[in-house]
Each structure stands twice: as C-alpha cells, then as structure tokens.
C-alpha cells in the first residue's frame, strides 16, 4: 500500500479521491461552455457556504491573492482599520499599508480583539475594516457579526477573511454585513491550494477604487463572469477549477449543516484530548470569542521539545503544525478540516499521545479515550 502522509494541518488538507482525479483529465478550452459550467457550479455552491447572495468570483491565486484583491479594489487611498490578533490579521494589515492609510488595532495573538479600539478608529474616520474571522495562527474565532455591526454603524466597508472558516463553520456574510468576504481552496473546502474566491456587495461596488490592481481587478472579473458564458478575465488554473468544482459538489452532497457539524465534533474531540492530557489550550476566549471550529492550538508543556515532539509524530506518517513567528516552540496545532473523520483524528491523537510520553511528559489521563467519547 502506498504510503501518504496524513496532513492534520490548518491547510493544506487531505483531499478526496474524486478531487484528485479531477485534475488528471485533458485540458479544456477556458473560453468554452464546459469551463463556464464548471465555474458556475463553483459559484453556486460557494455562495451557500459564504451565506451570500452577492456576486462571487474565483481567482487563480491563493487566499492571500483574494485578501489583496479585497484591499486593492476597495481600500486604495482610504483609512483602513485592521483588527489583528494573529498572523493573518497582521497580513491584512501589511497589505493595507500598501494601498491606504492602515491603522493596526492589535491584541496579543490568541487574545480577544480590541473592539473599543475599533470603534475609536471608526469615529476617527476609518472607511474600511478588516477582520480574520477564524485566526488559525492562534486557533481563535473572532466575532464577525459584532464587527460587521460596528462597521455598518459608521458606514465603513467590512472586509472579512473567511479563508479557514467558510465550508467548515457557520458563516453568514450577508447577515453579518460583510461587504467583501474571501476563502481559500485548500482549507475547509478540501481542494488543492492555488485558488481563492471573493464575494462583493452592491454597497462595495459603489465604492470601488479607480486605480485598481491589474490582475486582481474585480471590475474585470465582474465583466467576464457576466458574459453569456462565465469566464475569468485572464487564463485560469483550469485543473484547479476542475478540482474545486468536484470539492464543491462533495460539499453539496454532504450538506453544509452536516459538514459544519463534522468539523465541530472533530475539533471538540481534540480539545477533549488536550484537557485529558492536562495540557492548556492556547487562545484566551470570552463571551465574544470562541475556540476555532477547524484547528486547535495547544500550549507545549515545559520539558517538551517542539521539534523532537512533532518529529516523532511525523515519523508515524502524520503531520501536525507548530507555532508561527514568535509562537514557534510554544504551541502545536492540529487541524480538523478536509476529507477526514474520526479514524484520522484518533490516529493523530494516538501519535501525539505517544510523542508526549516519549518526551517524558506525564499524562493526566488518556486523551485518545476522551476524544473517542466525543466522537462515539
């Protein structure tokens, strides 16, 4: 049997065989009706996952491309309030610095957002707000609905990064007032990396910048998608579109509700294992913030070497993530997204439990049994 690593990361993630097989066919004309139907299928299903009736486009570029499209089309020359409590909030801030006057409203990674600071920035004239809904660098879920209400109160555009929540958690872009929302293909959608999607409200269209990026010009995407046959303005990554369409059809077959519940149960089981072991979850939550539904961040205990610990897990054919930037060596992260279920999660937790014991950590209890109790 061919050995493949089990990716229990916050992306990329395991892909269904149907998705992988879709990329193996002969090339098709990306200006023809067949590609147009593929694109239309992707848009139809993604609109449901986004919780939107707004126009939606698929971009040949990773989630960061969609982030830059959002800011580059709607933030150029404007005052942009950027909420930051992790690496990807920080990335939106860095992108915003290139297009407008960016204001960082920062919190320690994995701690609650400074919503009072956001309101102060809005009172001071911020015209755009950026938020990462599900901050995977710290495994914290941020209050998108509350941020959307504040943005609307001050008539600011709301840019929401749903890259690691759309397709794996409840997202209601329209109800939450997200004028622009984005997703990446290699996260909860369980498709290959390299595509992203972005939805745009009518309110946002009325405020689009005149001097827009060339390749990421959303007005050009709008024009091409509105033609008789749905197209992209520039040559798309056709094999990735074929794979994404298959991933979207699988999502539709599973049902969005059951899919979200699957992600919830898997992440709940990982948290139960951590608690049984006697380990601390990394993020600090409150009534507005929650643990991520798609990835769990766990603090590394004293005496455990991150590299050796995760290296032991990797030798068993399973990859889990470490911390990023200043969190390297302080946390490890287990993803709960992609084409996985109880078997993959329990195997991962068994490998983690073994690696902890090998490092000399004294377990409080049996994390695998605790997780199985959640999944059973």
Domain of 357, CATH number, reads 3.90.1150.10
Residues 41 and 68 in one domain: yes
Domain boundary (254, 282, 306) is at 254
Q: Are residues 181 and 163 in the same domain?
A: yes
Question: Has residue 298 been placed in a domain?
Answer: yes
Same domain assignment for residues 238 and 282: no
Provide the domain limits for residue 330: 6-11+256-375
Same domain, 266 and 248: no
Strand ranges of the sheet holding 295-299, from the earlier edge strand across to the other edge: 295-299, 331-335, 321-322
Same domain for 84 and 169, yes or no, is yes
Counting the structural domains of the chain, the total is 2
User: Do 64 and 178 lie in a common domain?
Assistant: yes
**Where are the alpha helices (H) located in the chain, listed in sequence order?**
17-22, 33-50, 63-74, 87-99, 115-123, 144-153, 202-205, 218-225, 238-254, 256-277, 306-315, 342-358, 367-375
DSSP, res 195: E
Domain boundary among 221, 254, 287: 254
Position 123 in a domain: yes
Tell whether 241 is covered by a domain: yes
Per-residue pLDDT of the chain (376 residues), as tens digits, is 457 999 999 999 999 999 999 999 999 999 999 999 999 999 999 999 999 999 999 999 999 999 999 999 999 999 999 999 999 999 999 999 999 999 999 999 999 999 999 999 999 999 999 999 999 999 999 999 999 999 999 999 999 999 999 999 999 999 999 999 999 999 999 999 999 999 999 999 999 999 999 999 999 999 999 988 999 999 999 999 999 999 999 999 999 999 999 999 999 999 999 999 999 999 999 999 999 999 999 999 999 999 999 999 999 999 999 999 999 999 999 999 989 999 999 999 999 999 999 999 999 999 999 999 999 9
CATH number, residue 135: 3.40.640.10
* 173 shares its domain with 211: yes
**Residue 1 is assigned to a structural domain of this protein:** no
Token readout for 64 is 């960061």
Distance CA 212, CA 75 (A): 10
Q: Are residues 274 and 357 in the same domain?
A: yes
* Same domain membership, residue 148 and residue 78: yes
Regarding whether 269 and 177 lie in a shared domain, the answer is: no
Q: Is residue 142 part of a domain?
A: yes
Task: Name the domain boundary from 254, 269, 285.
Answer: 254
The answer to whether the pTM exceeds 0.85 is yes
Rounded to 5 degrees, φ, ψ at 353 are -60, -45
Whether residues 97 and 205 fall in one domain: yes
Looking at the fold, whether 242 and 262 belong to one and the same domain comes out as no
Report helix angle 342-358 to 367-375, nearest 10. Answer: 170
């Amino acid at each position: 049997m061919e050995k493949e690593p089990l990716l229990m990361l916050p992306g990329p993630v395991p892909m269904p065989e149907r998705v992988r097989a879709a990329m193996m066919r002969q090339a098709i004309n990306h200006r023809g009706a067949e590609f147009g139907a593929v694109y239309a299928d992707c848009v139809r299903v993604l609109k449901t996952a986004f919780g939107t009736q707004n126009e939606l486009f698929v971009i040949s570029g990773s989630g960061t491309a969609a982030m830059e499209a959002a800011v580059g089309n709607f933030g150029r020359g404007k005052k942009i309030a950027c909420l930051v409590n992790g690496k990807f909030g920080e990335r939106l801030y860095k992108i915003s610095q290139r297009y407008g006057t960016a204001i960082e409203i920062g919190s320690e990674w994995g701690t609650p957002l400074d919503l009072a600071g956001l309101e102060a920035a809005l009172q001071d004239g911020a015209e755009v707000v950026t938020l990462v809904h599900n901050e995977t660098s710290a495994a914290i879920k941020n209050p998108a609905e509350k941020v959307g209400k504040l943005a609307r109160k001050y008539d600011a555009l709301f840019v929401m990064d749903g890259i690691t929540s759309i397709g794996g958690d409840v997202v209601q872009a329209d109800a939450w007032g997200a004028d622009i929302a984005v997703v990446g293909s290699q996260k909860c959608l369980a498709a290959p990396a390299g595509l992203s999607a972005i939805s745009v409200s009518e309110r946002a269209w009325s405020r689009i910048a005149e001097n827009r990026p060339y390749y990421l010009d959303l007005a050009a995407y709008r024009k091409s998608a509105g033609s008789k046959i749905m197209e992209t303005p520039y040559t798309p990554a056709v094999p990735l579109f074929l794979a994404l369409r298959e991933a979207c059809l699988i999502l539709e077959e599973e049902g969005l509700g059951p899919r979200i519940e699957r992600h919830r149960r898997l992440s709940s089981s990982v948290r139960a294992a951590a608690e049984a072991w006697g380990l601390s979850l990394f993020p600090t939550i409150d009534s507005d913030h929650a643990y991520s539904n798609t990835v769990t961040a766990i603090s590394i205990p004293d005496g455990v070497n991150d590299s050796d610990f995760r290296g032991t897990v990797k030798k068993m054919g399973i990859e889990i993530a470490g911390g990023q930037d200043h969190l390297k060596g302080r946390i490890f992260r287990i993803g709960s997204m992609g084409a996985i279920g109880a078997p993959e999660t329990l195997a991962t937790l068994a490998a983690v439990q073994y690696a902890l014991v090998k490092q000399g950590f004294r377990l409080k209890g049996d994390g695998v049994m605790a997780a199985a109790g959640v999944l059973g």
